[in-house]
């Protein structure tokens, strides 16, 4: 069993602002990746929060700056709208994280994960914007051995921090870092056994009120927004239509839902031993290490983020996981214990894979009880409908 301690992260005071500071991490966000099915249809949703510089992860006695709005007209509607925008833009996430993992039904543990409260401080880097901290969370699901997953866990965060554009152009930095880490793994392997392993990778970075999820593979990140599951990533599997189209355009093929008849995912780091899958430098192959990104501005209604390896999602739907986590957090508000309970429930449901869960809560308080709105209309069945139902039941 691989267990790490839960941690509560607090950053510097949110009042430390500098008008001459470099360009801030963007708060006007939109989903950056296209989706399939219902996921595709919902991907056009845009975050409508104001473009105020992000507040840091803070304590309860922080002072919060109010946004200024242009004077349009004096009316109750305008005042109400301004108050709503002020409330949304003043939300300051207070991060708590927990994690739990288990070997599950496998003979070897190939999953691994990481939780870093302050990425720059962890690696002795002073490249911060207005004293803001960048928190980093990741789940890495290895296959063919643990070499690739452990290498990516240990090197990817450092590669991100040491990039010259960190943290001003974080999206570009993350994509570039995934690729560089993948190539570095191939170059560092001196034995065939190491080269024969691969790993999927899902990372979540939180900077002020911005959440950036990067995914390559079939781990999944799900956001709870007032109890509604919002998928922040897309599973990269050969059955996905968009992935299949990309694969075929690069000379690959899918047989029995396996990439080139060999691999059950279409994006991963490592797997350099598979011929015709990928190439170094400018080489492009059907197996991609490039992550898909999803950028979102957090609001008060966002409760927590669940990151899980694919073994979790084999037995939990996204909404089921959110419902399960909310109930447990309402009972004890212990994020680490909640992760443990999700893993135990997955094993009870006969999950046969390695199991890893990381939960990042954005509030110190437990999720609120949801009030079910009663319909304004009485629902009744007509006499004809009642007779038809009776006939059906009586055969």
Each residue's pLDDT expressed in tens, for the chain with a length of 395 residues = 443 444 444 444 444 444 444 444 443 344 334 444 444 444 444 444 444 444 344 333 433 333 333 333 334 454 455 455 555 568 999 999 999 999 999 999 999 999 999 998 898 876 655 667 899 999 999 999 999 999 999 999 999 999 999 988 999 999 999 999 999 999 988 667 778 899 999 999 999 999 999 999 999 999 999 999 999 999 999 999 999 999 999 989 999 999 999 999 999 999 998 888 987 654 478 999 999 999 999 999 999 999 999 999 999 999 999 999 999 999 999 999 999 999 999 999 999 999 999 999 999 999 999 876 665 666 667 666 777 777 777 65
96 vs 78, 108, 149, 245, 334, CA distance in Å? 36, 30, 24, 39, 9
Question: What's the rounded Cα separation, in Å, for the pair 208 and 214?
Answer: 17
Note if the bond before 167 is cis, omega within 30 degrees: yes
Q: What is the pLDDT of residue 20?
A: 45
What would the two tokens of residue 281 be?
Answer: 């430098």
> Running DSSP on this structure, what letter comes out for residue 17?
-
Q: What is the pLDDT of residue 153?
A: 98
b (16+ CB within 10 A) / e for 328-341: bbeeebbbbbbbbb
| CATH 3.60.40.10 fits domain 96-361 | yes
Question: What's the rounded Cα separation, in Å, for the pair 105 and 350?
Answer: 8
Q: What is the pLDDT of residue 357?
A: 98
Question: What's the rounded Cα separation, in Å, for the pair 340 and 389?
Answer: 46
* Strand ranges in the chain using DSSP code E only, listed in sequence order: 7-8, 96-102, 111-116, 134-143, 198-207, 210-216, 220-225, 228-231, 254-255, 258-259, 269-270, 292-297, 302-308, 355-361
91 vs 40, 49, 60, 212, 253, CA distance in Å? 28, 10, 12, 17, 47
Question: What's the rounded Cα separation, in Å, for the pair 217 and 47?
Answer: 25
Contact 116, 122 (CB under 8 A): yes
Question: What's the rounded Cα separation, in Å, for the pair 265 and 244?
Answer: 11
| Segments making up each domain of the chain, as ranges | 96-361
Q: Looking only at Cα atoms, what is the longest distance across the chain?
A: 78
Question: What's the rounded Cα separation, in Å, for the pair 325 and 327?
Answer: 5
User: ∠ CA 5-159-200 to the nearest 5 degrees?
Assistant: 65
What would the two tokens of residue 285 be?
Answer: 């192959």
Question: What's the rounded Cα separation, in Å, for the pair 29 and 228?
Answer: 20
Measured from the Cβ of residue 383, the count of other Cβ atoms closer than 10 Å reads 7
- Ramachandran bin of 42, using left for φ above 0, alpha for ψ from -120 to 50, beta for the remaining angles: alpha
> Running DSSP on this structure, what letter comes out for residue 160?
H
> Running DSSP on this structure, what letter comes out for residue 392?
H
Q: What is the pLDDT of residue 212?
A: 98
Residue 370's Cβ-side half-sphere holds a number of Cα atoms within 13 Å equal to 13
pTM over 0.85: no
Q: What is the pLDDT of residue 101?
A: 98
Q: Is the dihedral of CA 300, 62, 81, 376 positive or negative?
A: positive
Backbone angles phi and psi of 207, in degrees to 5: -135, 105
Q: What is the pLDDT of residue 280?
A: 65
Contact 329, 367 (CB under 8 A): yes
Residue 203: alpha-carbon gap to chain centroid: 6
Question: What's the rounded Cα separation, in Å, for the pair 174 and 289?
Answer: 11
Backbone angles phi and psi of 304, in degrees to 5: -165, 165
Contact 84, 49 (CB under 8 A): no
Q: What is the pLDDT of residue 372?
A: 64
- Ramachandran bin of 82, using left for φ above 0, alpha for ψ from -120 to 50, beta for the remaining angles: alpha
b (16+ CB within 10 A) / e for 253-290: ebeeebbbeebbbbbbbbbbbbeebbeeeeeebbbbbe
Question: What's the rounded Cα separation, in Å, for the pair 336 and 307?
Answer: 13
Question: What's the rounded Cα separation, in Å, for the pair 223 and 232?
Answer: 7
């Amino acid at each position: 069993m691989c267990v790490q301690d839960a941690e509560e992260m607090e950053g510097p005071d949110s009042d430390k602002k500098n008008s001459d500071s470099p360009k801030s991490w963007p708060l006007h966000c939109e989903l950056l990746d296209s989706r399939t099915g219902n996921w595709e249809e919902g991907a056009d949703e845009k975050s409508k929060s104001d473009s105020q510089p992000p507040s840091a992860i803070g304590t309860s006695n922080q002072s919060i700056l109010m946004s200024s709005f242009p004077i349009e007209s004096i009316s109750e509607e305008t005042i109400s709208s301004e108050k709503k925008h002020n409330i949304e833009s003043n939300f300051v996430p207070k991060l708590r994280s927990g994690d739990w993992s288990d070997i599950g039904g496998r003979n070897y543990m190939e999953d691994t994960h990481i939780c870093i409260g302050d990425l720059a401080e962890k690696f002795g880097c002073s490249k911060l914007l207005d004293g803001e901290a960048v928190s980093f969370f990741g789940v890495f699901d290895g296959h063919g051995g643990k070499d690739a997953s452990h290498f990516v866990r240990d090197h990817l965060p450092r590669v991100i921090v040491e990039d010259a554009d960190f943290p001003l152009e974080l999206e570009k930095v993350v994509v570039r870092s995934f690729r560089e880490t993948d190539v570095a793994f191939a170059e560092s392997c001196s034995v065939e056994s190491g080269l024969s392993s691969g790993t999927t990778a899902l990372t979540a970075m939180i900077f002020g009120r911005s959440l950036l999820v990067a995914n390559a593979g079939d781990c999944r990140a799900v956001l709870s927004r007032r109890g509604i599951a919002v998928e922040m990533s897309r599973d990269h599997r050969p059955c996905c239509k968009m992935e299949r189209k990309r694969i075929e355009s690069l000379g690959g093929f899918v047989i029995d839902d396996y990439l080139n008849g060999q691999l059950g995912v279409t994006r991963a780091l490592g797997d350099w031993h598979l011929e015709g899958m990928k190439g170094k430098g400018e080489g492009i192959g059907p197996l991609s290490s490039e992550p898909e990104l999803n950028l979102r501005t957090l609001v008060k209604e966002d409760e927590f983020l669940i990151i899980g390896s694919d073994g979790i999602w084999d037995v939990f739907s996204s909404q089921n996981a959110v419902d399960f986590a909310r109930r447990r957090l309402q009972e004890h508000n212990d994020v680490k214990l909640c992760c443990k309970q999700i893993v135990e429930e997955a094993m009870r449901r006969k999950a046969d894979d390695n199991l890893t869960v990381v939960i990042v809560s954005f509030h110190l308080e437990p999720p609120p009880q949801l009030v079910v709105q009663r319909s304004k209309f009485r629902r009744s069945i007509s006499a004809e409908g009642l007779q038809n139902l009776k006939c059906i039941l009586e055969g």
